[in-house]
């Protein structure tokens, strides 16, 4: 669960704090007030792409800090990274600099944005208009069906993936064997030449940055000596002029005597004494640094030669030493395959046949499991759609057999028949935006019934709907929120009325704020959302009736 988010300098938001609780939280406000930036902040905490254009005009950076519940798995992974977990919570943050750089932290530890996404992404699911389009992808449909299967199904998929990987590896080795002998020998010669060169050079990860820094220092040694010597002279002075250190000492001695007459100067004396000690320490450090700044053409030549050797090995193979070492591991494995394959081609053909038989056998089990899942998920989604004012809709999952792929022996296709007189068509090829919104919500309600604590974020899930349909969508969102956290950006009062927590995004004088509303303030916001005057007694009475009617439904 997400407990809170603090946003600073992001788009129209100068500074805002959002407190979330369990259950259903809605985010409402006028168009352009900044609801999109709130969603953007969530996506940043999930490791999403950072755009320097989001930094608020006049600010040097944008920052988002969030506090999330630490599951046992998340806590262990954060602590493995050296991060801090306190009272079962983890602080995650993302900073976007105006010049384009982005930083991420988890538990106070700096991590790549991809790691942040990997850690937090499993806890939060964000759905928006783009996700409705993604639902039309057969890959997403397959993943959705498989997600319904739980742990046992995941294990079966892992077994299939392992069998497929073995078959691909055997096929690759056989292909290498059946290549023209001269070409194979040339490949062996090339791989040995490069891997031997890498072994002889013995590069280390991160070495190229260290060599670059050292070359920069050695190349500019004279400028470094001059700058350091000048700085030292300014501190220590010379025979003719006192330096900053001498002047500070003289001032200290004078003030020490003055404290006999004015004890309020003691703090100044203490601060000045610390400054003298710091200056003295800095001068000593500069002397030592200056002593080590000797020109070393031989060392510079060695560094430049090693950099050239690294660049030669990385050329066309890798962008840095880490990638070069990964390439080397793959090359050594291929070299072992090529040399081993020369000895027993018959055994390799038999191994490939066995691997392919295993792919088909496990694939058949996976297909059977998917067929059972398809029947169950269709029944449950049809029931949800009926409750979402689509009583005659039929949701269908087709499993079309294909040749073996990395994911199984069939292609998964989800179809929707909105009403009996309409043909069943693939999602995205006939379903309206409102229908897709309801299908997506129905899928999440069904998948969310496993009881796992998660946070769901819906943006415009109520697009293209209104009236009674909107009320049904709101009731389903409230149902999904039982035992978990659901955050919804909505423009419909029917949805907002079901919320356990209602946040309003306001914009005034170019600045966006976020406030939690209750009581009369919430009634006024619902009245505004229904198109009425928030101060009108009739509009407020209508809003209060809507709110009163929603409470028992969301509670039940």
| Alpha carbon of residue 226 to chain centroid | 46
- Pairing type for strands 89-97 and 102-106 reads antiparallel
CB neighbour list of residue 112: distance below 8 Å, 6 or more residues apart: 104
CA dihedral 443, 449, 450, 456 (to 10 degrees): 70
Query: What pLDDT sits at residue 352?
Result: 93
pLDDT higher than threshold 60 for residue 341: no
- Pairing type for strands 13-19 and 2-10 reads antiparallel
pLDDT higher than threshold 60 for residue 1: yes
CA–CA separation, 36 and 82 (whole Å): 33
CB neighbour list of residue 348: distance below 8 Å, 6 or more residues apart: 170, 173, 174, 177, 341
Angle between helices 321-341 and 181-201 (to 10 degrees): 140
What is 2-136+433-555's CATH topology?
A: Rossmann fold (3.40.50)
Give the pTM: 0.59
CA–CA separation, 228 and 284 (whole Å): 12
pLDDT in tens, 55-68: 988 888 999 999 99
Q: Which two tokens stand for residue 125?
A: 């699911």
pLDDT in tens, 147-199: 888 889 999 999 999 999 999 999 988 887 777 667 778 888 999 999 999 99
Cβ 465 vs Cβ 434: under 8 Å: yes
CB neighbour list of residue 39: distance below 8 Å, 6 or more residues apart: 126, 128, 457, 459, 489
All structural domains of the chain with their residue ranges: 2-136+433-555, 210-307
Element (H, E) at 270: helix 266-291
pLDDT higher than threshold 70 for residue 250: yes
Higher pLDDT among residues 125 and 409, named by residue: 409
List, in sequence order, every beta strand (DSSP E) within 517-556.
Answer: none
**For 292-399, where are the alpha helices, taking DSSP H only?**
297-314, 321-341, 345-387
List, in sequence order, every beta strand (DSSP E) within 81-199.
Answer: 89-97, 102-106, 109-111, 124-127
pLDDT (average), residues 86-108: 89
Q: Which two tokens stand for residue 412?
A: 């998964």
pLDDT in tens, 459-493: 877 777 778 888 888 888 888 888 888 999 888 99
Query: What pLDDT sits at residue 50?
Result: 87
Higher pLDDT among residues 403 and 30, named by residue: 403
Cβ 502 vs Cβ 38: under 8 Å: no
Angstrom CA distances, 131 to 44, 439, 441, stand at 17, 12, 11
pLDDT (average), residues 494-516: 87
Mean pLDDT lowest for which of 124-133, 326-335, 363-372, 476-485?
124-133
């Amino acid at each position: 669960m997400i407990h809170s988010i603090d946003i600073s300098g992001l788009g129209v938001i100068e500074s805002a704090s959002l407190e979330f609780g369990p259950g259903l939280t809605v985010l409402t406000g006028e168009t352009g007030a900044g609801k999109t930036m709130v969603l953007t902040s969530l996506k940043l905490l999930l490791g999403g792409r950072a755009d320097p254009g989001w930094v608020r005009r006049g600010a040097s950076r944008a920052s988002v800090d969030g506090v999330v519940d630490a599951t046992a798995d998340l806590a262990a992974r954060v602590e493995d990274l050296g991060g801090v977990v306190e009272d079962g919570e983890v602080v995650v943050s993302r900073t976007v600099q105006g010049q384009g750089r982005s930083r991420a932290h988890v538990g106070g530890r700096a991590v790549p944005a991809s790691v942040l996404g990997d850690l937090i992404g499993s806890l939060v699911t964000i759905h928006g208009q783009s996700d409705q389009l993604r639902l039309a992808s057969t890959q997403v449909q397959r993943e959705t069906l498989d997600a319904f299967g739980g742990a046992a199904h995941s294990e079966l998929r892992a077994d299939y993936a392992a069998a497929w990987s073995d078959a691909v590896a055997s096929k690759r080795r056989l292909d290498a064997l059946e290549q023209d002998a001269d070409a194979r020998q040339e490949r062996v010669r090339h791989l040995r030449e490069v891997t031997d060169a890498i072994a002889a050079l013995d590069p280390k990860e991160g070495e190229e940055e260290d060599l670059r820094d050292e070359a920069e220092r050695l190349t500019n040694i004279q400028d470094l000596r001059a700058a350091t010597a000048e700085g030292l002279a300014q501190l220590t002075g010379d025979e003719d002029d006192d330096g900053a250190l001498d002047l500070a000492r003289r001032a200290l001695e004078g003030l020490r005597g003055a404290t006999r007459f004015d004890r309020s100067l003691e703090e100044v004396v203490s601060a000045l004494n610390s400054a003298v000690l710091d200056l003295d320490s800095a001068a000593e450090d500069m002397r030592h640094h200056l002593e080590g700044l000797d020109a070393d053409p031989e060392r510079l030549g060695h560094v430049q030669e090693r950099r050239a050797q690294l660049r030669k090995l990385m050329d066309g193979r890798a962008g840095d030493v880490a990638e070069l070492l990964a390439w080397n591991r793959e090359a050594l494995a291929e070299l072992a395959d090529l040399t081993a394959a020369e000895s027993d081609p018959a055994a390799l053909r038999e191994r490939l046949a066995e691997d392919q038989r295993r792919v088909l056998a496990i694939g058949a089990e996976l297909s059977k499991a998917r067929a059972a899942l398809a029947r169950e998920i269709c029944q449950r989604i049809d029931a949800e759609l009926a409750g979402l004012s689509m009583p005659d809709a039929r949701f269908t999952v087709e499993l079309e057999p294909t040749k073996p792929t990395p994911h199984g022996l069939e292609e998964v296709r989800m179809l929707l028949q909105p009403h009996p007189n309409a043909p069943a068509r693939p999602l995205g090829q006939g379903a309206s935006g409102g229908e897709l919104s309801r299908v997506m919500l129905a899928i999440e309600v069904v998948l969310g019934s496993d009881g796992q604590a998660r946070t769901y974020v819906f943006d415009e899930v109520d697009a293209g709907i209104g009236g009674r349909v909107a009320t049904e969508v709101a009731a389903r969102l409230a149902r999904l929120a039982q035992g978990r956290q659901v955050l919804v950006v909505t423009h419909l009062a029917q949805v907002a009325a079901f919320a356990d927590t209602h946040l309003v995004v306001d914009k005034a004088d170019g600045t966006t704020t976020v406030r939690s509303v209750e009581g009369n303030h919430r009634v006024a916001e619902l009245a505004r959302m229904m198109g009425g005057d928030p101060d009108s007694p009739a509009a407020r009475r209508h809003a209060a009736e809507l709110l009163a009617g929603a409470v028992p439904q969301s509670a039940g």
